[in-house]
Chains A and B, each alone.
Chain A
Amino acid sequence: MKILFLGNLNCIVVIMLNIRLIPTILLKDGRMIKTKQFGAYRDVGNPKTVARMYDAQRADELIFLDITATIEGRHTLLDVIRNVAEECFMPLTVGGGITTLDDALEILHNGADKIAVNTAAVNRPEFLTELAEKFGRSTVVASIDYKKNSDGKNEVFTHRGTYPSGLDPVSWAVEVEHHGAGEILLTCIDREGMMVGYDLETLRSVAESVEIPMVAHGGAGTVQDLVDGIVIGKASAVAAASIFHFTDQSVFKAHAHMKEKGLPVRLI
Chain B
Amino acid sequence: MIKRCSKCVTLETQEIISFDENGVCAICRNIEYKRDKIDWVAREKEFISFVDKYRGKGMYDCIVPFSGGKDSAFTAYALKRKYGLKPLLVSFDHGFYRPCVLANRERTVKKLGVDIVTFKPDWQTVKKTMRVSLERKGAIMWHSHCGIYAYPMQVALHYRTPLIIWGEPDSEYLSYYGYDKSGEVDERRFQQMVNLGINAEDMVGMIEDGSVTLRDLSPYIYPKLKELKELGYRSICLGDYIPWDTRKQSELIRKEIGWEGAPVEGIPYDQYWYEKVEDAFQGIEDYLKWIKRGMSRMTHLASIDIRNGRMTRDEGLKLIEQYEGYRPASLDVFLRAMNMTEEEFNTMALKHVVSPYVPPDLNTVKRGKELPDQKLWTINNDLI
Contacts and interface: CB of A to CB of B under 8 A. Distances in A.
Chains A, B in direct contact (C-beta < 8 Å) = yes
B192 A43 contact: no
B14 to A, nearest CB: 10
Contact of B352 (A55, A224, A248): A248
Interface string B188-221: 1011110111111111111010000000000000
Contacts of A32: 202
A44 B202 contact: yes
B67 to A, nearest CB: 23
Interface string A36-75: 0000001111101110110111000000000000000000
Contacts of A56: 187-188, 190-192
B15 A46 contact: no
A244 to B, nearest CB: 6
A245 interface: yes
B222 to A, nearest CB: 9
Given A43-B205, A46-B201, A52-B199, A253 B15 contact: yes
A263 interface: no
A54 to B, nearest CB: 8
A253 B191 contact: no
B191 A53 contact: yes
Contact of B191 (A43, A52, A222, A247): A52
Contact of B205 (A46, A48, A253, A259): A46
B197 A244 contact: yes
Interface in B81-114: none
B301 interface: no
B248 to A, nearest CB: 32
A50 B202 CA distance: 7
A256 B16 contact: yes
B292 interface: yes
Contact of A45 (B176, B190, B199, B208): B199
Interface string B339-357: 0000000000001100100
A102 interface: no
A179 to B, nearest CB: 38
Interface stretch (B132-140, B154-162, B369-377): B132-140
B380 interface: no
Contacts of B139: 248
Nearest to A195: B351
B224 to A, nearest CB: 10
A245 B18 contact: no
Interface string B3-31: 00000000000011110000000000000
Contacts of A248: 137-139, 196, 292, 352
A234 interface: no
Contacts of A244: 197
Contacts of B355: 222, 224
Given A45-B201, A46-B201, A53-B199, 10 more contacts: A42-B206, A44-B202, A45-B198, A45-B202, A247-B138, A247-B352, A248-B138, A253-B16, A256-B16, A256-B18
16 contacts: A31-B205, A43-B206, A44-B202, A49-B200, A53-B197, A56-B188, A56-B191, A57-B191, A57-B197, A244-B197, A245-B136, A247-B138, A248-B196, A248-B292, A256-B18, A259-B18
Interface of B: 15-18, 136-139, 176, 187-188, 190-193, 195-206, 208, 292, 351-352, 355
- Report, nearest first, the 8 A-B pairs whose CB atoms are least far apart: A45-B202, A56-B191, A46-B201, A43-B205, A49-B199, A49-B201, A256-B16, A248-B137
